[in-house]
């Protein structure tokens, strides 16, 4: 989430043989289905279990085909962990973004959708900020030290980012047979053509059969829209909002992950 999944989906769909569409959020349903297969007596016959899994996957595939029956490759772009695998042994693409920019983007997203999260109830001061932001979309631009001034918001968001990446590493370790391609948001931002081509090669389609990178395929947005879902798309925007306290909280939870991902060489930033 907030790492460029919408943009990545559009880049993939720019190929004439690929259709990558919206967020189906099948993960909860698949987790429960997998638990049923493992635990319910009716599924303990292995041949029956395999057949039922095939039928289940066919239903998922049909959902995609109903949207696009022309593309040779179909996919979707739910921002979630690699596991549970929705379909068996199909290529997976995971986009990674600097957790500090994810934090900023998530904070704005929460302020634009305050009803979907309990943080505004748990942190009354954050609810007060939200009322000011909804009246003046440039409130945090004028008061940048206020966006990430709440320790709970920062630490919980960073923990969520760190745990996501740790879980994906463990999934790849446990399932080496599943083809997975990781791409960093910042690299895609810097050289979109190069990394789009690598993604097409990973999916084994002709990299030349695609449209130009223009319009909504280009990185970032021409104008910042603080109260829009697609707000800014900038690399390094965290520098505009981090205070010394924010840095301290982030380093405590996610500092080592920043180093592991190559965003920093040490905790001295």
Three-state SS string over the chain comes to CCCCHHHHHHHHHCECCEEEECCCCCHHHHHHHHHHHHHCHHHCCHHHHHHHHHHHHHHHHHHHHHHCCCCCEEEECCCCCCCCCCCCCCCEEEEECCHHHHHHHHHHHHHHCHHHCCHHHHCHHHHHHHHHHHHCCCHHHHCHHHCCCCHHHHHHHHHHHHHHHHHHHHHHHHCCCCCEEEEEHHHHHHCHHHHHHHHHHHCCCCCCCECCCCHHHCCCCCCCCCCCCCCCCCCCHHHHCCCHHHHHHHHHHHHHHHHHCCCCCCCCC
As a whole number of angstroms, the distance between CA 118 and CA 199 comes to 37
With pLDDT > 70 as the criterion, what percentage of the chain qualifies?
A: 100
Residue 133, pLDDT score: 94
As a whole number of angstroms, the distance between CA 220 and CA 110 comes to 20
Whether 94 and 181 have beta carbons less than 8 Å apart is answered as yes
The answer to whether residue 238 scores a pLDDT higher than 90 is: yes
The answer to whether residue 78 scores a pLDDT higher than 90 is: yes
The answer to whether residue 231 scores a pLDDT higher than 90 is: no
Model confidence band, residue 253 (pLDDT cutoffs 50, 70, 90): very high
Query: What's the average model confidence in pLDDT over 196-215?
Result: 95
pTM exceeds 0.85:
yes
Residue 181, pLDDT score: 97
Going by the DSSP 8-state scheme, the letter that residue 230 receives in this structure is S
The answer to whether residue 190 scores a pLDDT higher than 80 is: yes
* DSSP bridge partners of 93: 181
Residue 220, pLDDT score: 79
Model confidence band, residue 175 (pLDDT cutoffs 50, 70, 90): very high
- What homologous superfamily is domain 5-260 in, according to CATH? P-loop containing nucleotide triphosphate hydrolases (3.40.50.300)
As a whole number of angstroms, the distance between CA 254 and CA 7 comes to 25
The answer to whether residue 221 scores a pLDDT higher than 80 is: no
The mean of the pLDDT values for the chain is: 93
As a whole number of angstroms, the distance between CA 101 and CA 107 comes to 10
């Amino acid at each position: 989430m907030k790492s460029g999944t919408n943009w990545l989906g559009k880049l993939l769909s720019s190929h004439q043989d690929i259709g990558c569409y919206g967020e189906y959020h099948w993960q909860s349903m698949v987790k429960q289905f997998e638990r049923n297969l493992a635990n319910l007596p009716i599924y303990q016959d292995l041949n029956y279990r395999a057949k039922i899994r095939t039928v289940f996957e066919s239903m998922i595939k049909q959902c995609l085909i109903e949207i696009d029956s022309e593309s040779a490759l179909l996919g979707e772009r739910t921002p979630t962990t690699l596991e549970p695998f929705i379909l068996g042994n199909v290529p997976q693409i995971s986009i990674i973004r600097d957790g500090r920019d994810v934090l900023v983007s998530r904070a704005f997203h929460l302020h634009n959708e305050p009803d979907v999260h309990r943080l505004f109830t748990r942190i009354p001061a954050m609810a007060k900020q939200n009322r000011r932001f909804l009246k003046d979309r440039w409130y945090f631009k004028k008061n940048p030290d206020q966006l990430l001034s709440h320790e709970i918001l920062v630490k919980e968001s960073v923990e969520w980012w760190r745990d996501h990446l740790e879980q994906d590493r463990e999934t790849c370790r446990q399932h080496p047979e599943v083809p997975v391609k990781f791409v960093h948001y910042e690299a895609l931002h810097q050289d979109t053509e190069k990394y789009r081509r690598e993604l097409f090669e990973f999916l084994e389609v002709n990299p030349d059969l695609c449209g130009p990178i223009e319009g909504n395929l280009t990185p970032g947005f021409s104008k910042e829209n603080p109260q829009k879902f697609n707000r800014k798309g900038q690399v390094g925007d965290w520098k505009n909002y981090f205070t010394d306290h924010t840095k301290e909280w982030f380093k405590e939870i996610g500092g080592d992950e920043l180093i592991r991902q190559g965003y920093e060489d040490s905790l001295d930033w």
